[in-house]
Structure 1
Amino acid sequence: MDLQLAGKTVLITGGSKGIGRATADVLAGEGCNLILVARGPAQLEETAVAIRGQRQVNVRTIPADLSSDEAVRKVAAEAGDIDILVNNAGAIPPGDLASIEDARWRQAWDLKVFGYISFCRAVYARMKARRSGVIVNVIGAAGEKFPTSYIAGAAGNASLMAFTRALGKGAPADGLRVVAINPGPVETDRLVMLRRAEAQQKLGDPERWRELTATMPFGRAATPHEIGNAVAFLASPLSAYTNATVLTIDGGG
């Protein structure tokens, strides 16, 4: 299926690994030019080189820590006009209310919650001036399932869900769309690391970590590319009437 995205310029935060890298692969396959943003310059360049080796698209990289509004505005200015923004950077730590101290909670929200909001603010006006653009926020299913053991993530994700719907509600008047995806468990490096630690604790062997996914729908977590495919479709003209919507992809679990 041709998603009619060829020639579009896409900025992806957290674009060097996991869902961000998979999304970059998918969009490069659709003929999009990419701007990848992440903290680590070496991994960013590795990702860019790999994509350039497979696709005839332009891939730029901008190493940056997006946990401050100033940094976000600097990256947005360097990127220039973009057609699609994929907010994906940030990982909020697990823990209940007593185990996550205030400073750690705020640090995590500075990158993910306020980072998403700042980037939307930084690009929205330029998109509005052209009356063209799509913002896709990759959030997380904890924002609707409210696990006590992931309280900072649940609260932050729920806030971003509301933010997406509120911003999206007014977007059609400006010629724009704002949507979000709530992935459930996804087999990223981070998930594997956490599952290995859990398998060591519960089963005495980190290599048995896949046994911990047996009760998930389809007996596994999602793949990063399954989320990337959804990002691409929602960002495409084929999904032009989808707006102010949060799509949950958790296998039905």
Structure 2
Amino acid sequence: MARTWFITGCSSGFGKAITKAALGVGDNVIATSRDASKLADLAQSGVYTVSLDVNSSQKDIDAVVADAVNKYGSIDILVNNAGYILEGGIEEVSDEEARDHFNTNVFGQLAVTRAVLPYMRAKKSGVIANMGSIAGWRGGINCGMYCSTKFALIGITEALKKEVEPLGITVVAIEPGYFRTDFLSGGHKVSPKNSIPDLEPVIKPFKDMFSMYDHQQPGDPTKGAQLIVEALTGTGRCAGKKLPARLAIGSDAIAMITEVLEDKKKELDEWKDLAVTTDIAA
């Protein structure tokens, strides 16, 4: 029996790749973008395309989700993929720019999740996949705000997973490394209006690195999307495997996360003897 997917941010990158991979296994897909006309090629392939701005009101998002449920009867898998990267130094980012970033990358995902969960709770099944990033493991120069949105998403994902697991619903954060999509270019990457000369010697090398790395990333989005579909459906290479709270994909993701864990363990051990001295005496 065909499953039904609801995927946000499908005009390019992983959103589009996951849509194609899910369609390829015979499932139904509701693909969304702020402008559904950008999904014309997917619509021609049999995908149900819908305009959805994840920054819309909860009422509007609820209506889009209700329409999707009326179309196919249920939503079995939600992929919260919509998002963008705000580069620049922390001090350079204005309050408005930071809030806009969190509205899309965090609060937008929350709003879509709130709209979908009642239907999953009613049938006591479903999978919610929040698209995180290896940026959720370590704050980086020039992408601190983006990293912070992914850190926030992990906290939400891990808590939600425990809350709804007894109801038959699975929640996972997908954490890709660098995949060869348009994410480092075009409208997916924006810079703050403010620039601080004092920070330029630190910021510019990383800004240049992003530009040079654009379309030179090691990950193949088609292969990544195929693994994601198998993981979220428990089929193929993932048959019999239980989804972790955080699913890393890409060899660079594995290498970087391993390094972070080793560094954090070393820091913890170095300060442990002092840290434990702060307890109230028995």
Both proteins in one fold, TM over 0.5:
yes
Kept after mapping to 2: 8 A contact 1:169/1:243:
no
Query: Are residues 202 and 22 of structure 1, via their aligned partners in 2, closer, same or farther at CA, if it must alter by over 3 Å?
Result: closer
Query: Does the alignment pair 1:46 with 2:41?
Result: yes
Q: Residue 184 of structure 2: SS of its match in structure 1?
A: helix
Which residue of 221, 225, 234 maps to 1:224?
221
1:96 paired residue number: 89
Which SS does the other structure have where 1:99 is aligned?
A: coil
- Does 2:84 match 1:84? no
Residues 12-45 of structure 1: per-residue CA shift (max 9 Å, x gap) = 1011211000001111111111101101222112
Query: Can you list the C-alpha shifts for 1:155-186, whole angstroms capped at 9, x where unaligned?
Result: 11011111111101122210110011111212
Determine the C-alpha separation between the residues in 1 that align with 2:175 and 2:145: 16
- Unaligned 5+ segments in structure 2 are 190-203, 257-282
2:160 corresponds, among 167, 184, 193, to 167
Match of 2:176 in 1: 183
Q: Please list every run of at least 4 consecutive aligned residues from structure 1 whose deviation after the TM superposition is greater than 6 angstroms.
A: none
Percentage of pairs with the same residue: 30
Q: Does 2:56 correspond to 1:63?
A: no
Relative to the length of structure 2, the TM-score reads 0.73
CA distance in 2, matches of 1:210, 1:12: 27
Q: Which residue in 1 is equivalent to 2:233?
A: 236
Match of residue 15, structure 2, among 7, 10, 20: 20
The corresponding residue for 1:74 is 63
| SS of the residue 1:31 aligns to | coil
In structure 2, what is the Cα distance between the partners aligned to 1:181 and 1:39?
A: 22
Distance in structure 2 (CA, Å) of the matches to 1:211 and 1:92: 13
| AA of the residue aligned to 1:82 | I
1:69–1:115 contact (8 Å) kept in structure 2: no
Aligned counterparts of 2:215 and 2:52: Cα–Cα separation in 1: 35
Q: Counterpart amino acid of 2:136?
A: G
C-alpha separation in 1, matches of 2:208 and 2:164: 48
User: Paired residue for 2:245?
Assistant: 245
Task: Return the index of the structure with the highest Cα Rg.
Answer: 2
Compared CA separation, residues 176 and 96, structure 1 to 2 (3 A): same
Give the aligned CA root-mean-square deviation in angstroms.
2.7
Which secondary structure does the structure 2 equivalent of 1:28 belong to? helix
